[in-house]
Chains A and B, each alone.
Chain A
Amino acid sequence: MIWSKQEILPREEIEAIQLSRLQETVARVYEKVAPYRKKMDEAGIRPSDIQSLSDLARLPFVTKRDLRDNYPFGMFAVPKEELVRIHASSGTTGKPTVVGYTQNDLDVWTECVSRVACMGGATEKDVAQICFGYGMFTGALGLHYGLERIGAAIVPSSTGNSEKQIMYMQDFETSLLVATPSYALRLAEVARSMGIDPAKDLKVKIGLVGSELLTDAMREEMRKYWGKDMLITSNYGMSELNGPGVSGECEYLCGMHINEDFYIPEIIDSETGEVLPAGEKGELVITCIKKEGLPLIRYRTKDITRLFYEKCKCGRTFCRMENLSGRSDDMLKVRGVNVFPGQIEEVIFGFEELGPHYEIIVEREGYLDKMTIRVELVHSTDSFAELERLRNAIRAKLRTVLGLDAKIMLESPNTLQRFEGKAKRIKDLRSK
Chain B
Amino acid sequence: MSLITTLARLEAVEAGRAQPLATVRHRHLTDRPLVIVPLTTAGEAGAPLGALVGTDREAPRLLAVAQPRDRDLRFAFLAELAEAVLPHIEAYADVVEPAERNETDPATGKKTKVEVELCTDAPQLIVPSRAGIEFVRLLGRSMRFRRTAEDDPETPYPAPVRVPLLGRWLTHYGERARVPGSSLLLAATDLLNRHWATGQSSLEDQHLGALLAWIDPPGDASGAEAALAAELARDKDGQLLCPPAGPATDPAFDNRLLAPAIERYDRARQALAAAEDGLTADERLGELSKAEREIRSLLARVMLPTWDRVWQGLDLLRELPEGSRAEDRWTRDRWSFTAHRDRVSSGEPPQPRRDDAVTAAQKLASRETAQAQLEAQEALDDPLVLAGRRLAGEAFLADVTEVEMAYTESKRPSPRPLVTLRTDERPHLGERTKVYRSLDGKPQTAEFVRYASGDPGDEGSGEDGPGDSGSGGSGSGGSDVVLVLRIMDRMGRGKEPAPGSLPEPGERITWTLFEHDQRGGPKLPDPEETPWTHGGPPGANAATRAEHPDPVTPEDLL
Report if A and B associate in a common complex.
no
